[in-house]
Amino acid sequence: MNQIIGTSVSRKDGRAKVTGQATYGAEHQIQGLVHGYLVTATIAKGSIRTIDTQQAEATPGVMAVFTHKNPPKVFKPSNNFINSKIYEARLPLSDNTIHYAGQIVGLVVADTFERARDAAHQIEIEYETQPPQVNAHKANYQQAKSLFGEDMEYRSGEFETVNFSTDATATVEVTYTTEMEIHAPMEPHALVAHWEDRDSVTIYEPTQWVKGSQRTYAELLGVPVDRIRIISPYIGGAFGSKEFPWSHAILCVTAAREIQRPLKVVVSRRQMTTNTGHRSQTEQTIRLAANQEGKLRAIEHTAKSCTSPVEVFPEPCTGITPVMYTTPNMRLKPELAVLNVGTPTFMRGPGENPGMFALESAMDELAWELNIDPVELRLRNETKEHQRKKLPFSAKHFAECLKIGAEKFGWSQRQMQPRSQRRGDLLVGWGMASAAFPALRSMAEAKVSLLPDGTARVLTSANDMGTGAYTVVAMTAAETLGLPVKKVKVEFGDSVLPNGGMAGGSQMTATLTPAVLAACQKVLETAKAQNAEEAFVKLRESGLATYEATASSAPSEDGKKFAFNSWGAHFCEVTVDEEIARLRITRWVSVINIGRVLNSKTAASQIRGGFIMGIGQALMEECHFDPNTGYPVVYDLATYHYPAHADIPRIEVSFVGEPDFNFNPMGVRGCGEIGITGVSAAVANAVYHARGKRILSLPITPDKLL
Ligand code: MOS
């Protein structure tokens, strides 16, 4: 038996990445390449009165300057998530209105990057300026409309008639806030558009959704889909910010058609703070009512977030709440306001992540109020069904996550009383929180070839943004075909390949590996039909033939009987030096339930990555705006703080559970975003335990500890 699934395999793409052989979007070298530099608005609200490009156009090397007066030809896409999707509904350069600071108002094309940048700075713009609204606390909130057509408002039971003072032994009503976070991937947003003629274009761009991006560009450009080729073999971090074309990319591809030269556009770090998405700040109020035993009588979750004037994107914080704890009365109230800021979007655990910060902090408060251990409180309120979908969860092992995590951490040694644990002069705090993320899956196809030399090839348009997708696909094929992993070659990230689905919502592995499994099984059947089994083995070894099959896999009808979700529990130790307001995370245990673990190394690495990003959110990351100019006051990776190695302790990750075969034939649910959910709550709960004073606003920066 060739047992590969479940073992620890190093990344197949690791060597190419560390040796610099992996080629990212903007690194593609093309003969005759020219460079575009974005011109961005220096005001946050108003309009362009005059724009003078004469001097820029006369600068040596400049080939074209595009503004709203001469925008490149572009068509409005259907923008419906199914066929096509762009991040900002407003097309770039469509008029002279300014909606946020940093908005793209022009593109300068020159023979070198430096000349394009220099010319961009010579464009004179006179604005009609209005005072921008960038303060979330003063914004005008309204009921949030849904993102995918599902109603975001929700009510069950008789929430209004629950009398919080008489029906419940304990109540909690607290408001929590989180700050705006920017994605800040290592690879900046950048692309190269290469038109072979006026009818067909190759776009080298990191994208989490190759086929979706292909369709979207086809609509934007008004050409048939097969005239667009997307190349995206590697992505240097995306986190939700590279799923659809942003305005700079639309401008690059359309301008390249006008000038008939291969064109590269790289978004600078500063431009990325306003033009390539962020997670909105949130203000969430949780109301809980529980009886003496800690059984929840009511949960109310109100969540405010902000969007930009050019797109509707509510941070869906309340989505995870009906999944967590059972209660007869529930009310979810998402609200949205418009600010003069760049467009927010999906960012690792969109909604679930800030939502879990509020809910899991409130559960901690309830535990204190009732004098019940926080782990025990969660066990007592676990729900066996998805309370909105009214479906039982498949292969749920949340309770084991809590119990095993507590055991590994040594939770039973914890002194219940805050400020009661010390190490020398330091206060020691122990906190915990649950983790949860929905398990998603879509249709995908893969083509598998077994070659005469005893190797195999898997082809699919999927992509690997650093998650380990190349590796789990190779492992799936290797185990099914009876080959070592190194004999399997995997090709991703090209729109001419079979539809590999989207690397979004933590679904790539669960979507793609069943298709790879099906294609491998088809290859084996074909081979076996033509040869007796032993003969087939010999044939494979002697390398006499090639067998090929393409197969697809999609969610089944059977799967509709269940709700699918992944689960986990985080345990955190912090130390606080009160004199100098120094907070350190000193110990971390995560126990996660994702069905079957395909690659123990990359799966654990995903959880670690989620944890580290969660520490950024808990302690460091915040993007604020100058109230007068409406410009972000962070502008690079030095002013925007996120964790370094020295901030990160040893992280102990383990997995529990059984394969979830109701979900897919591989039994695997997603293992990406769940890692970050609950992290900031576990930290905040530990900080409370250490200090006896709760901090309700993230990030927990030193000033808040004084
Ligand atoms: Mo994810 S936030 O769907 O890349």
Helix, strand, coil percentages, rounded to 5, for the chain: 30, 25, 45
pLDDT at 102: 98
Q: How far is the CA of 456 from the centre of ligand 1 (A)?
A: 31
In angstroms, the CA 513 to CA 473 distance is 6
pLDDT at 37: 98
Q: How far is the CA of 204 from the centre of ligand 1 (A)?
A: 21
Q: Give the model confidence (pLDDT) of 146-165 as tens digits.
A: 777 677 889 888 777 776 66
pTM: 0.96
Nearest atom in ligand 1 to the alpha carbon of residue 504 is: 3
CA angle 37, 43, 45 (to 5 degrees): 120
Q: Which residue has the CA at smallest separation from atom 4 of ligand 1? A: 240
Nearest atom in ligand 1 to the alpha carbon of residue 238 is: 4
pLDDT at 148: 74
In angstroms, the CA 690 to CA 701 distance is 15
Cβ-contact 87, 343 below 8 angstroms? yes
Nearest atom in ligand 1 to the alpha carbon of residue 350 is: 2
Which residues are within 8 A (CB) of 321 and not within 5 positions of it... i.e. 6 or more apart?
A: 299, 301, 330, 332, 355, 359
CB-neighbour burial class of residue 19 (10 A; exposed 0-12, middle 13-18, buried 19+): exposed
pLDDT at 537: 62
Q: How far is the CA of 208 from the centre of ligand 1 (A)?
A: 9
State which amino acid sits at residue 98.
I
Cβ-contact 207, 185 below 8 angstroms? no
Nearest atom in ligand 1 to the alpha carbon of residue 345 is: 2
Residue where the block lists tokens 């673990």 = 597
Q: How far is the CA of 349 from the centre of ligand 1 (A)?
A: 7
Q: How far is the CA of 502 from the centre of ligand 1 (A)?
A: 10
- Give me 635's structure tokens: 């502008």
Edge-to-edge order in the sheet of strand 104-110: 62-67, 104-110, 34-40, 263-266, 190-195, 201-204, 228-231
In angstroms, the CA 484 to CA 162 distance is 61
State which amino acid sits at residue 675.
G
Q: How far is the CA of 321 from the centre of ligand 1 (A)?
A: 19
- Give me 611's structure tokens: 């944890």
Which residues are within 8 A (CB) of 638 and not within 5 positions of it... i.e. 6 or more apart?
A: none
- Give me 602's structure tokens: 């990359």
CA distances from 113 to 30, 36, 122, 535, 690 (A): 15, 7, 15, 60, 52
| Residues in the ligand 1 pocket, defined by CB under 6 Å | 208, 238-240, 346-348, 350, 504-505
Nearest atom in ligand 1 to the alpha carbon of residue 208 is: 4
CB-neighbour burial class of residue 68 (10 A; exposed 0-12, middle 13-18, buried 19+): middle
Helix ranges (DSSP H) in 102-199: 113-120
Q: How far is the CA of 239 from the centre of ligand 1 (A)?
A: 5
CA nearest 417: which of 111, 92, 67, 690?
690
| Count of Cβ atoms closer than 10 Å to residue 158 Cβ | 10
- Which of the listed residues 239, 280, 353, 676 should we mutate to test ligand 1's pocket, taking the one with most ligand atoms within 8 A of CB? 239
Q: How far is the CA of 187 from the centre of ligand 1 (A)?
A: 16
In angstroms, the CA 666 to CA 516 distance is 10
Provide the 3-class DSSP secondary structure of residue 682: helix
CA nearest 700: which of 429, 436, 408?
429
Q: How far is the CA of 414 from the centre of ligand 1 (A)?
A: 36
In angstroms, the CA 498 to CA 209 distance is 13
pLDDT at 152: 83
pLDDT at 281: 98
CA nearest 134: which of 624, 641, 620?
624
Rounded to the nearest 10°, the torsion over CA 65, 68, 72, 75 is 160
593 has which bridge partners? 567
pLDDT at 600: 98
In angstroms, the CA 303 to CA 315 distance is 8
CA 508 distance to own-chain centroid: 12
Buried b (16+ CB within 10 A) or exposed e, 592-607: bbbbbbbbeebbbbbb
- Which of the listed residues 232, 313, 346, 677 should we mutate to test ligand 1's pocket, taking the one with most ligand atoms within 8 A of CB? 346
Residue where the block lists tokens 């292909």 = 214
Which residues are within 8 A (CB) of 172 and not within 5 positions of it... i.e. 6 or more apart?
A: 286, 287, 288, 362, 365, 366, 369
- Give me 549's structure tokens: 């099959």
- Which of the listed residues 243, 279, 511 should we mutate to test ligand 1's pocket, taking the one with most ligand atoms within 8 A of CB? 243
- Which of the listed residues 182, 673, 677 should we mutate to test ligand 1's pocket, taking the one with most ligand atoms within 8 A of CB? 673
Nearest atom in ligand 1 to the alpha carbon of residue 349 is: 2
In angstroms, the CA 596 to CA 509 distance is 11
Nearest atom in ligand 1 to the alpha carbon of residue 672 is: 1
- Which residues are part of the catalytic machinery? 673
In angstroms, the CA 310 to CA 246 distance is 12
**Rounded to 5 degrees, what are φ and ψ at 164?**
-65, -25
CA distances from 221 to 215, 224, 496, 684 (A): 10, 9, 18, 48
403 has which bridge partners? none
Cβ-contact 205, 191 below 8 angstroms? yes
- Which of the listed residues 183, 348, 441 should we mutate to test ligand 1's pocket, taking the one with most ligand atoms within 8 A of CB? 348
* Ranges of residues in the chain whose predicted pLDDT is under 50: none
Provide the 3-class DSSP secondary structure of residue 30: coil
Q: How far is the CA of 81 from the centre of ligand 1 (A)?
A: 14
Nearest-Å Rg of the Cα atoms of the chain is: 26
Nearest atom in ligand 1 to the alpha carbon of residue 239 is: 4
Q: In the chain, what is the straight-line distance between the N-terminal and C-terminal CA atoms, in Å?
A: 60
Q: How far is the CA of 350 from the centre of ligand 1 (A)?
A: 7
CB-neighbour burial class of residue 57 (10 A; exposed 0-12, middle 13-18, buried 19+): middle
- Give me 406's structure tokens: 């507590």
